[in-house]
Amino acid sequence: MGMIGIIGYGNMGGAFCRGLSKMGTAFAVSERKADRAAALEAEQGRKSLFLKDLAAQCDILILAVKPQEAPPLLDELAGLAAGKRFISLMAGTPISSISSRLKKAPVCRFMPNLAALAGRAAVGVSFAEGADARFREECLAVARAVGEPFEIPERLMAAFTGLSGSGIAFVFAFLHALAMGGVATGIKYEESLRIALTVAEGAVAALRSTGFHPVELLSQVASPAGTTIKGLDRLERSGFGGIVMGAVEDASARAQELER
């Protein structure tokens, strides 16, 4: 894989820079905002390139900009798109609308979540029909720079956004609530949060290592007339499962409304 060009050095652009650097993959960056260009130089030890220079050096360009910044950027890139391949991180922006502005250049669409900042994101990856094998392999390799890729049809990108992009916030909310439960029973918040994080990490590790269904492990913890079943009863009576499902469905529906 040749040099990767990253357009934009915000949170996601920075995450890909760090991830690609750890992978030993060559990359260059174009960032027009002075403060972010300064951060790029301070954090990565490299200067921002002009867009035309970036395009001249790189075959794959990552569009790590906000959707509202896309129109003028795509207009400028149209004259540089020949022979280039693109990865878009722009939420709510279909592959077809990007490709049509870039003279039908190959485009892949990513949806990483906030865990990209720690290199642990779930990354939704969608390709246009007919994308060649080499481009697919390159894009999946780039996605691994910030986490684990999940190849999905683009029609499910809004659903993936609700489950992963927004879902990570639901996990943060649950962990805070779990920690607050510890506070309510006498544990200081900082310690309670550390415990909650360890519990969550342990739960994920147990699921991954055993391959069991979550309900199988849940039933092993819940003893007859014990403490866990008492808490689970409260969750069930409060509609916990339906609330979480509804949150994912609502976030997915909103993501679908924002497709443009």
pLDDT in tens, 200-242: 999 999 999 999 999 999 999 999 999 999 999 999 999 999 9
Q: How far apart are CA 186 and CA 191, in angstroms?
A: 11
Residues sharing a CB contact under 8 Å with residue 32, sequence separation 6 or more, in sequence order: 48
- Note the pLDDT tens digit of each residue in 124-177: 999 998 899 999 999 999 999 999 999 999 999 999 999 999 999 999 999 999
> What structural domains and CATH numbers belong to the chain?
4-157 (3.40.50.720), 167-257 (1.10.3730.10)
- Note the pLDDT tens digit of each residue in 31-59: 999 999 999 999 999 999 999 999 999 99
Helix (H, G, I), strand (E, B) or coil at 87: strand
Q: Is the pTM of this model over 0.75?
A: yes
The percent of residues in the chain predicted with pLDDT above 70, rounded, is: 100
- Closest by CA to 240, choosing from 173, 182, 194, is 173
Count of C-beta atoms within a 10 Å radius of residue 256: 15
